[in-house]
Amino acid sequence: MFSFPEGFLWGASLSAHQAAGGNFASDWWRWEQRPGRIRDGATSARAAGHFEQFERDFALAGALGHNAHLLSIAWSRVQPAADRFDDAALAHYGRVLDTLVGAGIEPVCALHCVATPAWFAQQGGWTNPRSPGLFAQYARRILADHAGKCRWWIPIYEPLHGLNMAYVERVWPPASRNLCRAVRALRNMARAHLAAYGAIHEARADALVGVAIRGRRFRPEDPDNAWDLRVARRETHRCCHGFLRAVRKICASSRTGAGPISSVADFLGVGYCGIETIRFAPLKPFALFAEVLHEKQGATPDAEGFRALLDELAAYGLPMLITGNGIATGNDAARCEYILGDLAVVQGALGAGVDVRGYIYRSLLDQFEWHEGYRTRFGLVHVDRETLARTPNPSAYLYKDICEHGGVRRGAVAKFCPEWGNGKNSSGD
């Protein structure tokens, strides 16, 4: 039906805090302890048990045809106190990377994904003017041991999305209404990215260092309401371009002066949530006068918006890696349709000259989904909450066929997602 370039990266992701369990020195572990903060009342104590089972999980990923894997390192495990790095944790991540490389799976490593060390949060987190330097110190310690084991690096995974959840929607720590602090945090995260970019390239000359964004698209609740339309447009642009804009502004204020984004990033990691409904909320200044209607209808798959995002981001002149696309559903047939729809968009973008290097599905396993707990499941592989047994869903086998053949075959579609094959595909033979 359609194929992808040779050398295209195929894989899935796992987040350290969400999948590994036992991240007890983090701000998120403390956040989870107060009733009501996690919607199903769960905690990440066990998560998916990936910390102990990473070798089996990567063997499973290899058996499912993956040639790439996006992982994150738990900063709070590596540096549980401001004045101490944990040698055992550093060695653990060395084994993790060695296992991936030994299995022929290309690691894509995020140095930070959402959860920070508790000591860092107690010092003000990303609002602390010292935070970029503290992050750079941590990054250099990781790189001293592991730079040679990984070429693809993401300093901070989806930074603006984390700030949105913490300061606008306020369902992640610190759940603050202070938007001035949010702006300060954004600028410091941009500075931290720049510091890590330099450190990574010092440690490994051929490294590829990316900025990962979570793109969102909003439709107005009332298309005829000018204010709904304005907040929809504003929030769409802010979520898709806000962190890149912050990085460029920090560059412009530095001694070296402004430069293209390609001077501080080698690729863009792209995640797309889908389309969400939003309305103007004049009584919610701390939410930027906007209300996202999560409970009425959450994000829904949106091929048009995904393609528009890829086309917009292509203007930055950087190659892209899809790093955050996934669907939370108990209906695996819907997951099959989602993957096929996504890949049809990517294939169309490639045909139009957009440089996409790979597709990494979110996520390999069902894992702890932050404030949602375990009630939402993104995984290609089902994880039993009692036993932590892994059972690949049919979507995992559809994706395996795609990974192994470098494209979508008509027979695989007929087997796993016949409805999509009969009418939802617009590609050729």
Check which CATH number belongs to the domain holding 345 and give it.
3.20.20.80
In a domain? residue 79:
yes
In a domain? residue 21:
yes
**Mean pLDDT, rounded, for 359-370:** 98
Cβ contact 30:67 at 8 Å:
no
In a domain? residue 328:
yes
Residue 376: what are its φ and ψ, rounded to 5°?
-110, 140
Which tokens go with 54? Answer: 């990473």
Number of domains in the chain: 1
In a domain? residue 407:
yes
**Mean pLDDT, rounded, for 87-99:** 99
Strand residue runs (E) in 89-207: 106-112, 152-156
Using 50, 70 and 90 to split pLDDT, how confident is the model at 252? confident
In a domain? residue 428:
no
pLDDT surpasses 80 at 50: yes
In a domain? residue 101:
yes
Q: How far apart are CA 325 and CA 41, in angstroms?
A: 26
Q: How far apart are CA 404 and CA 407, in angstroms?
A: 8
**Mean pLDDT, rounded, for 133-152:** 99
Average pLDDT, the chain: 95
| Residue with the larger pLDDT of the pair 341 and 295 | 341
| Residue with the larger pLDDT of the pair 202 and 425 | 202
Range of the domain at 18: 2-423
In a domain? residue 92:
yes
Using 50, 70 and 90 to split pLDDT, how confident is the model at 255? low
pLDDT at residue number 429: 36
pLDDT at residue number 298: 59
In a domain? residue 265:
yes
pLDDT at residue number 427: 41
Tell me if the pTM is above 0.85: yes
Closest C-alpha among 212, 214, 263 to residue 236: 214
pLDDT at residue number 421: 57
